[in-house]
Amino acid sequence: MESNTSGELIVLVTDARSASSDVTDEIRNRTGMSVRSVSVADLDDRLEDAVPDAIVLSADDPEIVRTTVTRIQEDVPDAPVVVAPRDGSEKLATVAIRAGATDYVPEDGPRLIDRIVDSVQTTGERDRNVEFRRILAEELPDEAFVIGEDGTYLEAKVRPESAELYETTAAELVGTTIGEAFPEPTAERLLDCVERAIRSDEIQSIEYDVETADEHLRYEARVVPTDRRIDGRRVAVWLARDITERAKRERELRARQAELETLNRINAVVRRVIETLVEAPSRNAIEREVCRQLVDSELYCGSWIAEWTGDGSLAYRTGAGDATTYLECVQEGTSGPDRPFRRAVRSAEIQTEDHVLEREPLPDPLQTAAADDDVEAVVAVPITHEDATYGALTVLASRDDAFSESERAGFELLGETIGFTIMAVKNRQLLFADTVVELEFRIDGGETFSFDLSREYDCTCSLEWAGTTADGRTFQFVTIDGVDGETVLEEANDHGSIEECRLVHDGVSGCTIEMRLSDSGVRTLTNHGTTIRDVTVEDAVGSCLVEVSQEANVREIADALSSIYENTELVARREVDRQVRTAAERRNLILDQLTDRQLTTLRLAYYGGFFDWPRESTGEEIAEAMDVSAPTMHQHLRKGLKTVLGEFFEGGGTSE
């Protein structure tokens, strides 16, 4: 059934008699409503077409009145029904009222039209009040007001738990205006919403802030226009709901979404930086590219890298970005003694500062520079690899709270990647250099296992090889002359610097062990891009010979070794030309060291698929082809392999 929107009043008449046309005209003129006359027989069809605002039934037969009123109550229970018979009676009045008629007004009674109009309007007013109460009961959340079109509060209702937040009661609010209750900008928005609702006759929605006695609240209001007039002014119902918690959740959600988007962009930047590092030819190129790509992303306004110097301070190496004034201050050394990049290097952990300008004052030049360049947040990232720290990367941002936990994790990976790449560049420079720098260190009174063992047993400890496994563990193979293996193992198991120890070879007056130390100078030297040529400890004095590239920072290497062994002295620094052998010369050198049997065994094993996986030939099949026993074949094979691998791992010089 469709809703009627034209304000229609239907006058019903019996089949035998019609309602007076004067009555119809008068009702139309007095109410301003459209009036239509239909017969009882056509009632059902009429009710299917539209829902009337009010119904006047003009009938004299009690049965017709009873059945018609009952039918109307069933079909349109909200429409007021006024029974207005031409000839009234007490019986007819009783039937009408019992059937549910709103009023009974005989046409021959005094002031007929006045009573019909009053009945219709009173009922309509009562229904509008019911609708107001329904809205307040069902849709009102926390506050409800009846507001005039001029912004005056005419009625007010506030839930008790909400009323406790205000200094002004709901009763005191009545008679005041929106302009008196809210600051001017907010009041203008709210009044405009009321006027728009009344003017368009459509419900309007608005959100606004309210300052209470204890807190800041966020409200959402629905402004419902009505036809009701008070003192000649149209009014609207204002329904307000406290959405502070919802608004907070929405802000948090938006913040998380923004953070996720930013993090995705940051990760993309970090990936691009890492990809470019692989091809970088030098440390300078690595650092320049990192700084450039970070500021090219528009996420950051500046970045720079500092390194340790010989006197233990940090020196600016390179930088990039729009924060030029800030970067100039850093280059001039006016950054202050306890800035994030210094703490990052000392602690080897990421350091951040948010709301930079709101914290404790920076040194004067830096404070001014941060304000000029709009620097709001700083992150300092240590550039490390294993136990080597090369310096720190500092990144500047104009965003508040720019460096979240997730963002810091990305920068931590970047710092480790830069450190690894710097170490790889150093190793590459050393590997392909024709001329290297040879450094000789003397270490007195070390406290690691080799020093204590040589002091206790008057033995000599020599490093054969040291390396790092895929899981980051560093192992050393050490030959010890002057003490047997069983004694060495007993001492190793009781020594605090040893994490693991295994006897590889045991002799009468010497042995070879594999060990892993908790703190190792060998590992420190390796992580700084050196090639260890010899390490010997005798009478608790160590001698260490290493090779570095000509570009290496010797002071940095010496300081790193001193952090493990306090009494460390650089006793010699020499430039050495490497002996260069061609690949053919190295091949011939190996062939000269192999016996015919060893060479034959290696060739049969190689071409016969003995080294494939799975094997294409077994050891017995190789032995049968040589016409020797399997143990003899394995003896030749292992000696041959040792010769080849020995030249590869221990052979001097480089090959072209």
Q: Which two tokens stand for residue 343?
A: 């703490």
DSSP 561-592: HHTTSSSEEEEEEEEEEPPEE-HHHHHHHHHH
pLDDT digits (tens, 9 = 90+) for 500-550: 899 998 988 899 999 988 777 787 887 787 888 899 999 999 999 999 888
Q: Report whether 383 contacts 317 (CB < 8 A).
A: no
Query: How does DSSP classify residue 77?
Result: T
Q: Report whether 135 contacts 237 (CB < 8 A).
A: yes
> Does residue 48 register a pLDDT over 80?
no
Q: Report whether 469 contacts 475 (CB < 8 A).
A: yes
Q: Do domains 140-242 and 260-430 have the same CATH topology?
A: yes
| The pLDDT of residue 15 | 45
Spatial separation of the C-alpha atoms in residues 174 and 183, rounded to whole Å: 18
Average pLDDT over residues 429-441: 84
> Does residue 463 register a pLDDT over 50?
yes
Helix axes 244-277, 283-296, angle to 10 degrees: 150
- Among 68, 34, 31, CA closest to 50: 34
| The pLDDT of residue 141 | 58
Q: CA dist 549 to 288, 423, 427, 557, 572, Å? A: 21, 12, 8, 12, 15
Beta strands in 202-254 (DSSP E): 204-211, 216-230, 233-242
| The pLDDT of residue 654 | 41
Among 283-297, 372-386, 463-477, 608-622, name the one with the lowest average pLDDT.
Answer: 463-477
Average pLDDT over residues 558-580: 85
Question: Hey, what CATH class is 260-430 in?
Answer: alpha beta
Among 163-172, 526-535, 566-575, 604-613, name the one with the lowest average pLDDT.
Answer: 163-172
Q: Which two tokens stand for residue 458?
A: 């008057």
| The pLDDT of residue 365 | 77
| The pLDDT of residue 162 | 59
Q: 227 exposed, middle or buried (CB, 10 Å; 0-12, 13-18, 19+)?
A: exposed
Give the CATH fold of the 140-242 domain. Answer: Beta-Lactamase (3.30.450)
- pLDDT tier at 11, thresholds 50, 70, 90: low
| The pLDDT of residue 275 | 77
Query: How does DSSP classify residue 42?
Result: G
Average pLDDT over residues 536-565: 88
DSSP 129-197: HHHHHHIIIII--SEEEEEETTSBEEEEEE-HHHHTT-SS-HHHHTT-BHHHHS-HHHHHHHHHHHHHH
Contacts 24+ apart (CB under 8 A), 179-183: 179/151, 181/153, 182/208, 182/210
- pLDDT tier at 404, thresholds 50, 70, 90: confident
Query: For the chain, how many helices (H) and strands (E)?
Result: 23, 25
Q: Which helix (H) or strand (E) holds 377?
A: strand 377-385
322 contacts: CB under 8 Å, gap ≥ 6: 295, 301, 302, 373
Q: Which two tokens stand for residue 39?
A: 């017969």
Q: Which two tokens stand for residue 313?
A: 């301070």
Largest CA distance in the chain: 143
> Does residue 652 register a pLDDT over 60?
no
> Does residue 189 register a pLDDT over 90?
yes
Every domain of the chain and the residues it spans: 8-128, 140-242, 260-430, 435-577, 580-655
- Among 339, 340, 345, CA closest to 389: 345
Level-2 CATH architecture, domain 580-655: Orthogonal Bundle (1.10)
In this structure, is the dihedral angle defined by the CA atoms of residues 176, 177, 180 and 183, taken in order, positive or negative? positive
Provide the β-strand partners of residue 651. Answer: none
Side chain identity at residue 120, one-letter code:
V
243 contacts: CB under 8 Å, gap ≥ 6: 207, 218, 219, 220
- pLDDT tier at 637, thresholds 50, 70, 90: very high
Spatial separation of the C-alpha atoms in residues 354 and 366, rounded to whole Å: 15
- Among 4, 57, 55, CA closest to 31: 55
Q: CA dist 13 to 34, 36, 47, 255, 421, Å? A: 16, 11, 15, 68, 100
| The pLDDT of residue 312 | 59
> Does residue 441 register a pLDDT over 70?
yes
Average pLDDT over residues 54-80: 81
CA angle 191, 195, 201 (to 5 degrees): 145
Provide the β-strand partners of residue 566. Answer: none
| The pLDDT of residue 501 | 92
| The pLDDT of residue 518 | 73
- pLDDT tier at 388, thresholds 50, 70, 90: confident
Level-2 CATH architecture, domain 8-128: 3-Layer(aba) Sandwich (3.40)
> Does residue 84 register a pLDDT over 60?
yes
The 3-state secondary structure of 465-519, one letter per residue: EEEECCCCCEEEEEEEECCCHHHHHHHHHHCCCEEEEEEEEECCCEEEEEEEECC
| The pLDDT of residue 488 | 93
> Does residue 19 register a pLDDT over 70?
no
* 3-state DSSP assignment of residue 337: coil
Spatial separation of the C-alpha atoms in residues 53 and 41, rounded to whole Å: 20
> Does residue 600 register a pLDDT over 50?
yes
Average pLDDT, the chain: 80
Half-sphere exposure of 177 (CA within 13 A, CB side): 10
- Among 146, 242, 140, 231, CA closest to 194: 146
Provide the β-strand partners of residue 145. Answer: 156, 238
Q: Report whether 576 contacts 438 (CB < 8 A).
A: yes
16 contacts: CB under 8 Å, gap ≥ 6: none
Query: How does DSSP classify residue 459?
Result: -
- pLDDT tier at 4, thresholds 50, 70, 90: very low
Spatial separation of the C-alpha atoms in residues 511 and 503, rounded to whole Å: 8
Order of strands, edge to edge, in the sheet holding 81-83?
34-39, 8-13, 54-58, 81-83, 103-104
Q: Is the peptide bond before 614 cis (omega within 30 degrees of 0)?
A: yes
* 3-state DSSP assignment of residue 260: helix
